[in-house]
A and B are shown apart, each in its own frame.
Chain A
Amino acid sequence: MTDDAISRAQGPGAGGPAPAGGAMASARAIGGTVFRFILRQREVSVAVIAVALIVYFQSSNNVFLSIPNLQTLGQYIAATAIIAAGEVMLLICGEIDLSVGNVYALAPFIMYLATLNGFPLVVGIIFGLAVSAGVGLINGLVTVYLKVPSFITTLGTLFILNGITLEISGAFPAITPETTPKATQFAQFMGHGAYAEIIWAVIIIAIMQIILNYTRWGLHTVAAGGNPLGASEVGVNVNRIKIVNFMLTSLFGGLAGTLEAFRITSIDPLAGGTDIMFAAVAGAVIGGTALLGGSGTVVGALLGVLVISILKDGFTILGVNAFEFDLILGAAILVAMIFNVRLQLLRKAGRQ
């Protein structure tokens, strides 16, 4: 029985006697295996969409895959992907953070004010990130202990943070320290360098994917979202998981905002906001994260953000009218998602 079980374990879906057919049958079998592989990995279907879009835009205008445009694309992606890496963890454990785009705007101002008051830049950055994590702590505590749904909690902090940023900045942009007239090496490292931000994004995403897949924290995050009651019955501290993931999301929001401030050399009180937050959430969802918790991947979110960014960048290159831009972007997101959901249904059917 054990052998039987193992053989079944090794070949899921491959069950059933292999008919001794001709070349046709075996070709079909190989095709089927490839198809099944594509279906099994939920990231793969998003990657397929991304590749299809790249092919389309490149064939429409061969500037698309040029180095300068890839740099632009990288800049589109980096900040949003960093936020998405946190947001995915939060979505998986059954919560959401709408305020993260406003932490993004606040953190670099905290840094700026700290340097104005004579603190070294590094200390300023740390202040900014600490305030970001603090916002996440508040989001988490209110959600978990005061039992306010996170959608509402973070909607509240979204406005509060926006108000604070406008208040302390006087609604005027500021110049990022150490970036003008010539960026220091530290500023290069903190996002000003041509590839600095995307390297930060890739490293963060790799680390978060490893945490999600290969640590107890990741496992408990899935458990907290999949079956909160069951997980706590076994002794998983669901509240702690949620609070720390709120802090992580906010921290990444602050970091993304800081990196972006160094990249564009100025700090804008109206930067980020709901635009970047929704892009991150949409990226996560397009990448296969369930809005109701229990499943998702960080790499999937990166691919989702990639799809959105390719659409944005590709339409810009094609010279799509700004008025039509949102219309087409929205429709494209819908079409991509409908396609993805169909693929998921197929995948589910294939597993049974």
Chain B
Amino acid sequence: MTDGIGQTTGAPADKRATPAASTDPDALRISHIAKRFGAVIALRDVNLHVGQGEILGLIGDNGAGKSTLIKIMTGFQPPDAGTITVNGQEVRLRSVEYARSLGIETVYQDLALVNELSVYHNLFLKRELTYAPLPFLNNRAMRKKARESLDAMGINIPSVDVEVAKLSGGQRQAIAIARAISSNAQILLLDEPLAAMGAKEGALILDLIRRLKGTGVSVIMIGHNYAQVLEVCDRVCLLQQGKITLDKPVAGDMLTELNEIVMREYRTAATQH
């Protein structure tokens, strides 16, 4: 069962509009974002962008402002200042629903899956297929489509009928990602997608994220394990004390560089005590 996510790479199903060529604006760009809670400054002048089909890693220590930044990007919280553009259009993300309608989907750590429901019911939750005009669920069609879309993404679940509770953490994460993708996500925010996962399981999820690349979906992967982030991302942003302090394409010896930056931060913090 550890081969949860198979090696069938193949061309992922291409149901979504592929972005047009070169002149494309960034999928998501946030400029000069600031947010404070009372006396606490969570974010100060944050600039971040993710290109079409790009996988961006956003890393930072606990308390660096990552979760505030996610909440702003998903429309859960408005920023105090700054602008957000989606595909070149300035937008005000006034609600999670609105952000979602723009194709911004988030897969949270706590996973919005319902353990008691089957894999295919989870994949279709709130978008169920029915024998319209009759109100009955078309389970057969949902099963079939679930199987197809999981296969297309190379996610290998023994049976789509199995209750999600019976799956491993990696398989559940894969299904949560699959659901976001099949609900037409254009910009996928993955909040610590490898948290609490063994190395082998984590590798399968990384593989899945890598495969998303070919589909034109832009991904922002939030994490604090640099090695994992560097493994799949095209570019990395480091968030430190509410500011982006590094924004670089992933290249050769980045792990050492990041480690040094963070060690420096710890040392400064230690001397200030």
B-contacting residues of A (Cβ < 8 Å)?
1-2, 5, 8-9, 12, 214-217, 219-220, 222-223, 225-227, 229-231, 233-236, 294-295, 351-352
CB-CB under 8 A for A230 and B136, given A9-B159, A216-B128, A216-B130: no
Whether B156 and A294, one on each chain, are in contact in the complex, defined by CB atoms closer than 8 angstroms, is: no
Q: In the complex, which of the residues A1, A226, A234, A352 contacts B156, with contact meaning CB atoms closer than 8 Å? A: A1
9 more A-B residue pairs beyond the given contacts A219-B137, A352-B166, with a C-beta to C-beta distance below 8 A: A5-B156, A214-B139, A217-B135, A219-B117, A220-B126, A226-B115, A226-B117, A230-B113, A235-B97
Chain B 111-148, CB-CB to A under 8 Å as 1, else 0, gives 11111110001000110101000011101000000000
A219 to chain B: closest residue by CB: B121
A351 to chain B: closest residue by CB: B166
Q: Is B8 an interface residue (CB 8 A)?
A: yes
Q: In the complex, which of the residues A8, A227, A352 contacts B158, with contact meaning CB atoms closer than 8 Å? A: A8
Whether A226 and B114, one on each chain, are in contact in the complex, defined by CB atoms closer than 8 angstroms, is: yes
Query: A216 contacts which chain B residues (CB < 8 A)?
Result: 128, 130, 135, 137
Interface extent on B, as a size class?
20 to 34
Q: List 7 A-B contacts (CB under 8 A).
A: A1-B8, A9-B161, A12-B159, A12-B162, A227-B114, A234-B126, A295-B116
Whether B108 and A233, one on each chain, are in contact in the complex, defined by CB atoms closer than 8 angstroms, is: yes
C-alpha spacing A226/B135, complex, angstroms: 22
- A215 to chain B minimum Cβ distance, whole angstroms, is 5
A290 to chain B: closest residue by CB: B116
Chain B 156-173, CB-CB to A under 8 Å as 1, else 0, gives 111111100010000000
C-alpha spacing A235/B125, complex, angstroms: 9
Q: Is the interface of A mostly helix, strand, loop or mixed?
A: helix
Whether A294 and B125, one on each chain, are in contact in the complex, defined by CB atoms closer than 8 angstroms, is: no
Query: A214 contacts which chain B residues (CB < 8 A)?
Result: 136-137, 139
Whether A215 and B126, one on each chain, are in contact in the complex, defined by CB atoms closer than 8 angstroms, is: no
- B191 to chain A minimum Cβ distance, whole angstroms, is 12
C-alpha spacing A1/B110, complex, angstroms: 30
A-contacting residues of B (Cβ < 8 Å)?
6, 8, 96-97, 108, 110-117, 121, 125-126, 128, 130, 135-137, 139, 151, 156-162, 166
Give the A-B contact count at a CB cut-off of 8 A.
76
C-alpha spacing A35/B124, complex, angstroms: 33
- B226 to chain A minimum Cβ distance, whole angstroms, is 28
C-alpha spacing A2/B130, complex, angstroms: 26
C-alpha spacing A217/B151, complex, angstroms: 29
Query: B135 contacts which chain A residues (CB < 8 A)?
Result: 215-217
Whether A222 and B114, one on each chain, are in contact in the complex, defined by CB atoms closer than 8 angstroms, is: yes
Whether B157 and A5, one on each chain, are in contact in the complex, defined by CB atoms closer than 8 angstroms, is: yes
C-alpha spacing A351/B167, complex, angstroms: 12
Most chain A C-beta atoms within 10 Å of own C-beta, residue among B111, B112, B137: B112
Query: A223 contacts which chain B residues (CB < 8 A)?
Result: 114, 117, 125
C-alpha spacing A50/B6, complex, angstroms: 46
Whether B112 and A231, one on each chain, are in contact in the complex, defined by CB atoms closer than 8 angstroms, is: yes
Whether A227 and B112, one on each chain, are in contact in the complex, defined by CB atoms closer than 8 angstroms, is: yes
Whether A229 and B110, one on each chain, are in contact in the complex, defined by CB atoms closer than 8 angstroms, is: yes
- A95 to chain B minimum Cβ distance, whole angstroms, is 16
- A327 to chain B minimum Cβ distance, whole angstroms, is 36
C-alpha spacing A227/B165, complex, angstroms: 12
Query: B121 contacts which chain A residues (CB < 8 A)?
Result: 219
C-alpha spacing A20/B43, complex, angstroms: 68
Whether A235 and B113, one on each chain, are in contact in the complex, defined by CB atoms closer than 8 angstroms, is: no
C-alpha spacing A323/B46, complex, angstroms: 75
C-alpha spacing A245/B265, complex, angstroms: 54
Query: B97 contacts which chain A residues (CB < 8 A)?
Result: 235
Whether B112 and A2, one on each chain, are in contact in the complex, defined by CB atoms closer than 8 angstroms, is: no
Query: A5 contacts which chain B residues (CB < 8 A)?
Result: 156-159
Q: In the complex, which of the residues A12, A225, A233, A352 contacts B112, with contact meaning CB atoms closer than 8 Å? A: A233
- A33 to chain B minimum Cβ distance, whole angstroms, is 18
